[in-house]
A and B are shown apart, each in its own frame.
Chain A
């Protein structure tokens, strides 16, 4: 297992608010990570720090064992085109055309693939001559996606890259990402709110809530721990008493519980024999329940 990104005790403080609290994790090379969390959870702040665009208040980040701050060798490994989402960008780029962004990116990324960039522009139907001020939100996202993918950066960070994209364009993006990743493996961290839609791409999922890391686990592992168990309330309470319940709903004498815990095959068989109904819990629902649980615990 080769480590691409190592994060140690990372903290980011804005005045009184801690956007990121003491996060420690390691991210492997050539894997797609889904970064999920509620609005204001600290996803974008974390990505900015990974790209060296924001600086940690405490802790450190290394990229392929190299510190990132002012380190050209480490920075050249990363692509994070977050500036397109910056509100002041529209004013700055008023005279820019799509080709200006592409040409700029070509000068900065050492592994830049111009043919792939042209191909992506064609696939998204984006004219290089189009002025930035005439681009819709979706088209701005497309420019960002084209740069991110054509950069061929060993670490590619995507912050809600589908903003403004319609369902068709989003699925085109997922397909292109999956295909390109297959041909050119790299470490991708992909923050999203459309969890179920994008989860087919994820190999690992990072959940952060209120600046803290909740988990960083392989998606198979998460799926193997996420269950929705329903049945008579009294029976349910007896059987799942030792499991980590992240959500509970009751209707009359019946209840359903969302469990995020290890359940052995023997236990599953015994639950079924006892008359309980067991379903897989979607990643989206698990995310909603876990973050709600965290907030209640605060």
Chain B
């Protein structure tokens, strides 16, 4: 495994400016956000985890995209120094795994730290209630984040190998294919993000997908040469076909979040005397209602009720609560009702899905 040290030193030399720029942007971004929030609120207690994490996510995903490209750009240099193609692939995959793991740890620490500081409504992240982080849920988040990051970086690495081996048109076609795949699976991940469930299996599935991308990269690199492929006019045809496939996928890709219940409702108020939000939804056959609910009030009450077609309350939460649950549905007209009574400093969020 001596080659790892040599390869890593090359990767470091090639990407040190990239890493420097990226870490500077992240540092400046977080500092500015902290500063602005502190100036606005006078403390760190009202820092919104979402607003801090969102740009950070962007940067981290930027790293996951930029880094594999940097790794692949080192391919001819490493080949020049007698590296075997499979060693280049192995060192790239190991580095991708290390970075994916590091970023997963960073995200987990951020979630944990900000949740400790923040007094805003607790969030659900990938189906885990962050306010109730246990070792098990943290490991699940780590596992899932690692799967996501590792898959993303290996997908980008694979696309980079296609660019290198077959040129720009095939590279763009690989991007379009990847986006087509995303168009199909993104609703599933959206559900996962909101509802969780099966994190371990999804993480495992992501690792299998990563392995497939690594295998694809090997297929590309095994015959790659020191000279990059050049542009050929006939390659445009391939791109046109794949773009047509992408258009088809975007147009007809699965949308499992479709349901006849309003998927999302939320509210925030300083004081509300009485308020009742009623919503009816029809169920045609036996399904499940997935709910995630968060609510918080300083005084007074806030309540969510789910009523069956016989108008019986089958589910009820109130006060400061948060819950992810699954309710079996029978055919008929169902109702959900949010009741607020003489409440101050209230905040609630409801996500619901029938499937």
B1-32 interface code vs A (CB 8 A; 1 in, 0 out): 00001100110011011000000000000000
Within the complex, the shortest CB–CB distance from A53 to chain B, in Å, comes to 4
Q: Which residues of A contact B226 (CB under 8 A)?
A: 48, 53-54, 82-83, 86
Asked if A108 and B6 make an inter-chain contact with CB atoms under 8 angstroms apart, the answer reads yes
Asked if B225 and A83 make an inter-chain contact with CB atoms under 8 angstroms apart, the answer reads no
How long is the Cα–Cα vector from A48 to B86 in the complex, in angstroms? 18
Residue in B5, B77, B81, B83 whose Cβ sees the most chain A Cβ within 10 Å: B81
Asked if A53 and B80 make an inter-chain contact with CB atoms under 8 angstroms apart, the answer reads yes
A68-107 interface code vs B (CB 8 A; 1 in, 0 out): 0011100110111111001011001111100010011101
**Chain A: residues with CB nearer than 8 A to chain B?**
15, 48, 51-55, 70-72, 75-76, 78-83, 86, 88-89, 92-96, 100, 103-105, 107-109
Is B136 an interface position by the 8 A CB rule? no
Is B85 an interface position by the 8 A CB rule? yes
Is B74 an interface position by the 8 A CB rule? yes
Asked if B86 and A70 make an inter-chain contact with CB atoms under 8 angstroms apart, the answer reads yes
How long is the Cα–Cα vector from A96 to B257 in the complex, in angstroms? 50
How long is the Cα–Cα vector from A108 to B80 in the complex, in angstroms? 10
Asked if B9 and A103 make an inter-chain contact with CB atoms under 8 angstroms apart, the answer reads yes
Residue in A48, A81, A107 whose Cβ sees the most chain B Cβ within 10 Å: A107
Asked if B82 and A105 make an inter-chain contact with CB atoms under 8 angstroms apart, the answer reads no
* Chain B residue with Cβ nearest A79: B82
Pick from B73, B74, B82: contact of A52, CB under 8 Å: B82
Chain B stretch 221-238: residues in CB contact (< 8 A) with chain A? 223, 225-228, 232
Asked if B82 and A83 make an inter-chain contact with CB atoms under 8 angstroms apart, the answer reads no
Given contacts A54-B227, A55-B225, A95-B16, contact A104 B84 (CB under 8 A): no
Asked if B82 and A76 make an inter-chain contact with CB atoms under 8 angstroms apart, the answer reads yes
Given contacts A76-B82, A108-B6, contact A83 B13 (CB under 8 A): no
Q: How many B residues face the partner with a CB closer than 8 A?
A: 26
Closest 5 CB pairs of A and B: A83-B80, A53-B226, A108-B81, A107-B6, A75-B82
Q: Which residues of B contact A96 (CB under 8 A)?
A: 13
Within the complex, the shortest CB–CB distance from A156 to chain B, in Å, comes to 12
How long is the Cα–Cα vector from A51 to B227 in the complex, in angstroms? 13
Within the complex, the shortest CB–CB distance from A290 to chain B, in Å, comes to 28
Given contacts A52-B82, A70-B84, A75-B84, contact A83 B10 (CB under 8 A): no
Pick from A53, A88, A94, A100: contact of B79, CB under 8 Å: A53
Is B76 an interface position by the 8 A CB rule? yes
Asked if A83 and B83 make an inter-chain contact with CB atoms under 8 angstroms apart, the answer reads no
Asked if A104 and B9 make an inter-chain contact with CB atoms under 8 angstroms apart, the answer reads yes
Asked if A107 and B225 make an inter-chain contact with CB atoms under 8 angstroms apart, the answer reads no
How long is the Cα–Cα vector from A70 to B6 in the complex, in angstroms? 17
How long is the Cα–Cα vector from A165 to B295 in the complex, in angstroms? 76
* Chain B residue with Cβ nearest A84: B80
Given contacts A55-B225, A100-B13, A107-B6, contact A92 B82 (CB under 8 A): no
Asked if B76 and A83 make an inter-chain contact with CB atoms under 8 angstroms apart, the answer reads yes
Pick from A76, A81, A100, A107: contact of B80, CB under 8 Å: A81
Q: Which residues of B contact A15 (CB under 8 A)?
A: 232
Given contacts A75-B83, A100-B13, A104-B6, 7 further A-B contacts (CB under 8 A): A53-B80, A54-B227, A71-B84, A82-B226, A83-B79, A104-B10, A109-B81
How long is the Cα–Cα vector from A70 to B16 in the complex, in angstroms? 29
How long is the Cα–Cα vector from A103 to B6 in the complex, in angstroms? 10
* Chain B residue with Cβ nearest A108: B81
Asked if B80 and A80 make an inter-chain contact with CB atoms under 8 angstroms apart, the answer reads yes
Asked if A72 and B84 make an inter-chain contact with CB atoms under 8 angstroms apart, the answer reads yes
Within the complex, the shortest CB–CB distance from A107 to chain B, in Å, comes to 4
